[in-house]
Chain A
Amino acid sequence: MNEIMLERRQFLTASGALVVGFALAPVAPALAQQAARGAFPLRGVDEDSIDSFLAIARDGQVTLYSGRVDLGTGLRASYRQIVAEELDVPYERIVMIDGDTALTPDQGGTGGSTAIVGAGVQVRQAAATARQALLKLASERLSVPVEQLSVADGVVRASNGRSVPYGELVGGSRLDIKADTKAPLKNAAQYKYVGKSLQRPDLPAKMTGRHTYVHDFKLPNMLHARIIRPTSIGATLAEVDEASIANIPGARVVRIQNFLAVVAENEWNAVRAARQLRVRWTGGGNLPGSDGVYATMRASTAERNEDLIKKGDSATALQGSGVRRLNATYEWPAQSHASMGPSCGVADAKDGQLTVWSASQGTHGSRRVIARALNLPENQVRVVYLDGAGCYGMNGHDDAAAEAALLSHTLKRPVRVQWSREEETGWDPKGPPQLLDLRAALDGNGNIAAWETEAWLPMNTPNLPSRPLLSLVAAGIPQPEGQAVAQVQGNAYPPYDLANMTATVHWLKTTPLRPSNLRAPGKLGNCYAVECFMDELAAAAGRDPLEYRLHHMKDERGAAILKRAAEMMNWRSRPSPQRASAGDRIASGRSIVYVHYKHVDNRMGLGVELIVDRDSGRVRVDRVVCAYEAGLMINPDIVRSQVEGNILQAVSRTLYEETTFDQNRVTSIDWRSYPILTFPDAPAIEIDLMGSPFDKPMGAGEAASAPVPAAIGNAVFDAIGVRMRRVPLTPERVRAALAASGQASL
């Protein structure tokens, strides 16, 4: 059964109950049809109200309305488990509707492994509050004090043997209460659903082609559109030869200033028209090119400088007598979200209302942007979430949604916009490049006397509804200028207890390509620099990398987690680099690193075993071991899958991925020019999820990306004694570094 279909059918049931039970406006008979077609059901989505989150039908079925969306991360299981637990209803009786602005409360965008820690708490509190309200109703109905009632599987039972199901209790009134932060929560010792590795409800449909992704969504009379991008970023549209597509049935051009699209009645004709249309662009061509990006960043005037930490006096300690000074520069490239499915959006403008179907991480935010851009009242715009390909941050989905909206608004017909591979890899907003200078002083014992980080990063402009969208810029539609890359400065200094430590960020206005969040924003690059440099210091001191880290740590929890990773690695103490295969073509290396995510979230010890082929320069990661501080896990198998996925994606980002660009545009535009990890090169992964039901919840997955690049860089050093300070670690760069170090390729 199709998950979406299932939800719609059951939604109809739930809606019927809403009308009867919750006395909403009588729009329900057409509700299911409207959900598909896009008119606007009336539903309260006030964040304070329990009814915004939960509806209990007469037959006992519970509908959870979630503003956060399942990005392929298992939220549809986790959130159901939370509700099942706190409301005492069977997991199977819960359906979830996510990210429909007309039906769900605005819980902010989904991302950053915050769905459980932040919004999940809201859901939990709503369910716990509802349970108390239902107990009160049952108490009145059964004339039994609340203390003598118990609940199991959605049925309230009294000590005298009488019982009443939830469905009957709410069969006449809305709950009409606000979330109570003091509503009692289940004791972890009694958990029945939380902590269980239940299977994800959406996978059988996804495994059989029955799940409806945004790419699969169709409307009657729908036009297919393709956007024509300029040959140069910032170029002006000079001329369009509409006659050049005259031979393609139904194909035509839509132009709004520099925004250019072709539309056709069927998809292939739109593809053909986009390929065939003759267009002339002028201007643009002002990019520094990816090879010049770090020099450009270093030469840029900072908008402002910020000290992330200033402890002791690192400047004086660096100049101290008898210290050994080291410094290094680390460079992290711009990277693409590189989603498997190019972005897609469908929009239907009709009678002054606009409905958009989108895989946006934040449909409520997307609604604000689209309403403002098209000058529509916000309550006349509805954005409905449908699954997309995994995005890991803002990829092209929000752009595609706005493009579909703009076209449908213009043409007054339903429009589907489908990006090409070239658009998705070339035009998605990018994880920005990062530049870090590191300096340290070692005392006579080789211990760290001073540490300084100096970073160049693109500035975050907070409180904006969105990053600039391509179509709005091109169409000359004003939008607030700026960008938002969350916490890109995170982990720019070490998690160790150092007496003299300074970390400064030079905030740059922007970087050459439009930046956005890309999974664990900034933390991969920062941890790469910090934990590789830590390894450089250990090597300079002739010390074992594990011992050196533990020596500088006071955090006992962190030390325990790092030691656990070492135990899984079967760690043998010795300094890097290794000597055993020093003369061999295939050199083996190992490493261990420690990251405390954002200095407040998950602690992780992570180790890597890999081989380097000195001849080809190829690096192959054989094994990744991770001790992951997980806290309370709603669904341990989903946490594990997220940690696995983050590790594998980070291996890919470290070894292969760099968005390249010339003076005009991005040149890494497909899977050959922007390669990612493939099956033959996927390492074995061992994970210890360290947590218990009595802990507080923590980020579930994203953090595990952060330690991987440094672990790979350090293991490469361990293998061949060469320090790689620029990502990705491509065969060409490894060969060049070997040659520069005097180790000729064999």
Chain B
Amino acid sequence: MASVTLRVNGRARTLEVDDPAMPLLYALRDQFDLHGPKFGCGLGQCGACTVIIDGEAVRSCQLPVSSVQNREISTLEGLGTPERLSAVQAAFVAEQAAQCGYCTNGMIMTATALLAKNPRPTEAEAREALAGNLCRCGTHVRVLAAVMRVAANGTGGR
């Protein structure tokens, strides 16, 4: 047993783990009941598990939980609620940019990190930023429209 302290959505939380190499995703989903990040591949190939750590969109499925202590971790839940959506979440709703919604976490987290750094990306830049996020339902066109809707405001997604 090892004790690990994480800062998630602005709150410090401690958990006991049998294996310090356990990926962050399992701590978020199983210990903290944060279901925004999804298990998609466990291989860093699909983006469903994306979280934002210190401003960067990263894959939580391969990141040892012990390696991200005292870093600022944000999940989809931390961005907004159904009643108070973040600008990116609101744009995704406005464009109805999901079908099953399983990959949506990765889309929104990646777009949020992109827009915070580059408030007015071109569509080509948005496509490139999302290149590692897979969608099977075929919502690509709507997701891009949602990102460009926020880009048009130039607010950086805040």
Which A residues are within 8 Å of any B CB, using their own CB?
Answer: 1-2, 71-74, 199-200, 202-213, 215-216, 248-249, 266-269, 271-272, 338-342, 387-390, 392, 418, 420-421, 637-638, 641-642, 644-649, 652, 670-672, 676-680, 682, 684-685
Using an 8 Å CB-CB cutoff, how does the interface string of B119-158 with A read, 1 for contact, 0 for none?
0000000111011111111111111100000000000000
Query: Closest CB-CB distance, B3 to chain A, in whole Å?
Result: 16
Query: Closest CB-CB distance, B97 to chain A, in whole Å?
Result: 8
Q: Residue B43 at the A interface, CB < 8 A? A: yes
Q: Residue B113 at the A interface, CB < 8 A? A: no
Q: Are B99 and A671 in contact (CB under 8 A)?
A: no
Which chain B residue lies CB-closest to A265?
Answer: B18
Query: Closest CB-CB distance, A98 to chain B, in whole Å?
Result: 14
Nearest first, the 3 A-B pairs at minimum CB distance are A209-B36, A72-B100, A648-B138
Q: In whole angstroms, how far apart are the Cα atoms of A422 and B23 in the complex?
A: 18
Q: Which residues of B contact A680 (CB under 8 A)?
A: 127-128, 131
Q: In whole angstroms, how far apart are the Cα atoms of A644 and B97 in the complex?
A: 11
Q: In whole angstroms, how far apart are the Cα atoms of A188 and B102 in the complex?
A: 35
Q: Which residues of B contact A646 (CB under 8 A)?
A: 138
Q: Are A203 and B101 in contact (CB under 8 A)?
A: yes
Q: Which residues of B contact A418 (CB under 8 A)?
A: 39
Return 10 A-B CB contacts under 8 Å, by A number.
A204-B89, A210-B35, A211-B101, A212-B35, A268-B18, A271-B26, A389-B102, A389-B103, A641-B96, A678-B131
Q: In whole angstroms, how far apart are the Cα atoms of A507 and B96 in the complex?
A: 42
Interface members, chain B 84-112 (any A CB < 8 Å): 85, 89, 92-93, 96, 98-105, 108
Q: Are A672 and B45 in contact (CB under 8 A)?
A: yes
Q: Are B96 and A637 in contact (CB under 8 A)?
A: yes
Please give the number of chain B residues whose Cβ is less than 8 angstroms from any Cβ of chain A in the complex: 61
Q: Are A641 and B142 in contact (CB under 8 A)?
A: yes
Query: Closest CB-CB distance, A201 to chain B, in whole Å?
Result: 10
Q: In whole angstroms, how far apart are the Cα atoms of A646 and B99 in the complex?
A: 11
Q: In whole angstroms, how far apart are the Cα atoms of A248 and B22 in the complex?
A: 13
Query: Closest CB-CB distance, A421 to chain B, in whole Å?
Result: 4
Interface of B is mostly: loop
Interface members, chain B 17-46 (any A CB < 8 Å): 17-19, 22-23, 26, 29-30, 34-43, 45-46
Q: Which residues of A contact B54 (CB under 8 A)?
A: none
Q: In whole angstroms, how far apart are the Cα atoms of A672 and B132 in the complex?
A: 12
Q: Which residues of A contact B104 (CB under 8 A)?
A: 206-207
Q: Which residues of B contact A340 (CB under 8 A)?
A: 38, 40, 46, 48, 100, 102-103, 134-136
With A215-B38, A266-B30, A641-B96 in contact, is A676–B141 under 8 Å at CB?
no
Q: Which residues of B contact A638 (CB under 8 A)?
A: 96
Q: In whole angstroms, how far apart are the Cα atoms of A637 and B93 in the complex?
A: 13
Which of A249, A268, A649, A678 has the largest number of chain B CB atoms within 10 A? A268
Which of A203, A271, A678 has the largest number of chain B CB atoms within 10 A? A203
| CB < 8 Å A-B pair total | 192
Q: Which residues of A contact B39 (CB under 8 A)?
A: 215, 341-342, 418
Which of A389, A420, A678 has the largest number of chain B CB atoms within 10 A? A389
Q: In whole angstroms, how far apart are the Cα atoms of A341 and B103 in the complex?
A: 8
With A209-B76, A390-B137 in contact, is A670–B43 under 8 Å at CB?
yes
Q: Are B134 and A671 in contact (CB under 8 A)?
A: yes
Query: Closest CB-CB distance, B35 to chain A, in whole Å?
Result: 4
Q: Residue B80 at the A interface, CB < 8 A? A: yes
Q: Are B100 and A390 in contact (CB under 8 A)?
A: yes
Q: In whole angstroms, how far apart are the Cα atoms of A389 and B138 in the complex?
A: 13
Q: In whole angstroms, how far apart are the Cα atoms of A458 and B11 in the complex?
A: 56
Q: Which residues of A contact B35 (CB under 8 A)?
A: 209-213, 215-216
Q: Are A209 and B77 in contact (CB under 8 A)?
A: yes
With A199-B96, A339-B136, A670-B45 in contact, is A208–B101 under 8 Å at CB?
no
Having A2-B82, A72-B99, A205-B82, one finds 4 other A-B pairs with CB under 8 Å, namely A248-B18, A268-B17, A420-B42, A649-B136
Q: In whole angstroms, how far apart are the Cα atoms of A645 and B79 in the complex?
A: 27
With A208-B79, A676-B136 in contact, is A203–B141 under 8 Å at CB?
no
Which chain B residue lies CB-closest to A204?
Answer: B82
Please tell me which one of the listed residues A72, A199, A341 contacts residue B38 in the complex, with CB atoms under 8 A apart: A341
Q: Which residues of B contact A649 (CB under 8 A)?
A: 136-138
Q: In whole angstroms, how far apart are the Cα atoms of A649 and B38 in the complex?
A: 21
Q: In whole angstroms, how far apart are the Cα atoms of A637 and B98 in the complex?
A: 12
Query: Closest CB-CB distance, A29 to chain B, in whole Å?
Result: 27
Which chain A residue lies CB-closest to B135?
Answer: A340
Q: Are A670 and B41 in contact (CB under 8 A)?
A: yes
Q: Residue B60 at the A interface, CB < 8 A? A: no
Q: In whole angstroms, how far apart are the Cα atoms of A684 and B144 in the complex?
A: 11
Q: Are A684 and B136 in contact (CB under 8 A)?
A: no
Q: Are A249 and B18 in contact (CB under 8 A)?
A: yes
With A338-B136, A390-B100 in contact, is A682–B93 under 8 Å at CB?
no
Q: In whole angstroms, how far apart are the Cα atoms of A202 and B137 in the complex?
A: 16
Q: Are B137 and A677 in contact (CB under 8 A)?
A: no
Q: In whole angstroms, how far apart are the Cα atoms of A638 and B142 in the complex?
A: 12
Query: Closest CB-CB distance, B88 to chain A, in whole Å?
Result: 9
Q: In whole angstroms, how far apart are the Cα atoms of A641 and B142 in the complex?
A: 8
Q: In whole angstroms, how far apart are the Cα atoms of A202 and B102 in the complex?
A: 12
Which chain A residue lies CB-closest to B30?
Answer: A267
Please tell me which one of the listed residues A72, A648, A677 contacts residue B101 in the complex, with CB atoms under 8 A apart: A72
Q: In whole angstroms, how far apart are the Cα atoms of A71 and B108 in the complex?
A: 21
Q: Are A679 and B133 in contact (CB under 8 A)?
A: yes
With A267-B26, A340-B134, A342-B39 in contact, is A679–B100 under 8 Å at CB?
no
Query: Closest CB-CB distance, A264 to chain B, in whole Å?
Result: 9
Q: Which residues of A contact B127 (CB under 8 A)?
A: 679-680, 682
Q: Which residues of A contact B105 (CB under 8 A)?
A: 209
Q: In whole angstroms, how far apart are the Cα atoms of A73 and B137 in the complex?
A: 9
Query: Closest CB-CB distance, B17 to chain A, in whole Å?
Result: 8
Q: Which residues of B contact A267 (CB under 8 A)?
A: 26, 29-30
Q: In whole angstroms, how far apart are the Cα atoms of A120 and B75 in the complex?
A: 37
Q: Are A72 and B41 in contact (CB under 8 A)?
A: no
Which chain B residue lies CB-closest to A390?
Answer: B100
Q: In whole angstroms, how far apart are the Cα atoms of A260 and B81 in the complex?
A: 41
Which chain B residue lies CB-closest to A2?
Answer: B82
Q: Are A421 and B42 in contact (CB under 8 A)?
A: yes
Q: In whole angstroms, how far apart are the Cα atoms of A4 and B105 in the complex?
A: 18
Q: Which residues of A contact B92 (CB under 8 A)?
A: 203, 207
Q: Are B40 and A73 in contact (CB under 8 A)?
A: no
Q: Which residues of B contact A271 (CB under 8 A)?
A: 26, 42
Q: Are A266 and B138 in contact (CB under 8 A)?
A: no
Which of A2, A421, A637 has the largest number of chain B CB atoms within 10 A? A421
With A268-B26, A645-B99, A680-B128 in contact, is A208–B141 under 8 Å at CB?
no
Which chain A residue lies CB-closest to B128?
Answer: A680
Query: Closest CB-CB distance, B15 to chain A, in whole Å?
Result: 11
Q: In whole angstroms, how far apart are the Cα atoms of A677 and B134 in the complex?
A: 8
Query: Closest CB-CB distance, A422 to chain B, in whole Å?
Result: 9
Q: In whole angstroms, how far apart are the Cα atoms of A644 and B142 in the complex?
A: 9
Q: Are A671 and B46 in contact (CB under 8 A)?
A: yes
